[in-house]
Amino acid sequence: MNSLALKEMQIGLEELTELRENPSILIDTGYEYVEMGDYDKALKLFSIGAMLDNSDPDILNGLGITLCELGRFKKSKQILERSIRLNPNDAVTIANLAGVCWEMGEPEQAIYYYSQSMEINPDIEEIHFNLINLYIETGSLFMAYISCLTFLERFPDDGEAKELMEEILLNLAISTY
């Protein structure tokens, strides 16, 4: 596919056929736009992707993340929930839904989804950190402590987690006075 055509979003029939046959081009480019903060272009790409294949978890995740970044939380949540129905064991999608719930001010739902995501794949470090930070933000320091311990059991050499543990312990000590 002509990258200039993709960048300008002038997607014709030939490009659509190529995207259908090789959706990784669309997905990779869409996530590049997300990383650059160009959410309008990412939204257009992922929307086209969803029209081509409305069951691909990477496309639905990209669409959900983009909608969240644009502040369209309800629609983002709907897209991610659909992706989970289609791909119930996709830890990344479930974690993304947790992030949307967190953004929507639904910490209990976010905790539920982060926990569910970690049950599916406990090796995704970012999910552990998100859950720990969510517990800290909600004032659940003991749960943050337990989650950090769990993380350090799995990744004992992680320096960032060790620093976070010290912070949690300090805050626990302060809160008991």
Answer whether 56's CB lies under 8 Å from 79's CB: no
- Name the band, by pLDDT with cuts 50, 70 and 90, for residue 143: very high
Domain residue ranges in the chain:
1-89
* Residues near 47 by beta carbon (within 8 Å), at least 6 away in sequence: 63
> CB neighbours (10 Å) of residue 155?
15
* Residues near 139 by beta carbon (within 8 Å), at least 6 away in sequence: none
* Residues near 82 by beta carbon (within 8 Å), at least 6 away in sequence: 60
* Residues near 170 by beta carbon (within 8 Å), at least 6 away in sequence: none
Judge residue 121's burial from the number of C-beta atoms within 10 Å of its C-beta, 0-12 exposed, 13-18 middle, 19 or more buried: middle
Residue 15's pLDDT is: 60
Nearest to 47 by CA among 33, 37, 35, 116: 33
Residue bearing tokens 């081509």: 52
Superfamily name and number for 1-89 = Tetratricopeptide repeat domain (1.25.40.10)
pLDDT of residue 20 exceeding 80, the answer is no
pLDDT of residue 46 exceeding 60, the answer is yes
Percent of the chain with pLDDT over 70: 86
Q: pLDDT tens digits for 65-75?
A: 999 999 999 99
Please give the Cα distance from 54 to 98 (Å, whole number).
Answer: 21
**Which residue would you say has higher pLDDT here, 124 or 18?**
124
This prediction's pTM: 0.85
